[in-house]
Structure 1
Amino acid sequence: MKQHAKLHDLLPASARGHVEDLIRFEAETYAKAMMRKGKRKVNGGNVAAFVFVALVTGGVVYGFIALALVWPLFFIGAAIAVGFGGLFLVVGGGQLFDYEADPDVAATADRRQEEISSTTADGTDRIS
């Protein structure tokens, strides 16, 4: 946004219209993203699952490392456990919050569902 504002200042007055539209769009998108982020709520069940996976992964890795002190081949098992546990945590990290439904998205989905339900399997419109 800052770069576009600087570009806006450098352009002649006759060419500023589109850049103003772009800046306005970016500001609106940023504001919506910040409002959405402010309205999110922590999902307790997902946080509990996240902590559970972290504890199980830690326990398994601890066991593998303890065994690896006796037989070094168990370091491979520890690495695999860290990999899988880490992947589960990375993937699950995005699910820790619940967001309010966006009314624009919900309205579009409802309209699309109405369009789908008003046609038959062969693609022709139903007669009411």
Structure 2
Amino acid sequence: MDFNNIGVFRLAGARLEHLAQRQRLIAENVVNANTPDYRAKDVKPFEALLGGMKPVAAARTSSAHLASTRPADIVRETRRPELWEVTPDGNAVALEQEMTKGSETRDAFALTAGLFQRNVQMLRAAWKA
């Protein structure tokens, strides 16, 4: 069976590839922490790569169901650019920021890999039945 035909596996694979690319850039930033005029690099947020996928909203199938009182955009996390200092030689890599980004990437990778594994377990259970 080709897992690329299943949406959750395709999405998880794309997310894992995105996180791997981000980890490579973080490592590159750390390596160049003492290089004059080096600017830290980062990838675009994964949400920007989804290209038009909209968040899932609950559908009211009955007038007895409660309607949401807040718009869907409120719960979306917004990234704001972190302002860190630039050294006198022009280097703009802050090791503290890179370590924070590395931890965030590791956690997101573990979450996505766990989701992938759970879906594989569900498929195995369905095949055994």
TM range (shorter): 0.3 to 0.5
Q: TM-score, normalised by structure 1?
A: 0.39
- Where relative contact order (Cα < 8 A, 6+ residues apart) is larger, the structure is 2
Indicate the structure (1 or 2) with the bigger Cα radius of gyration: 1
Bigger helix share? 1
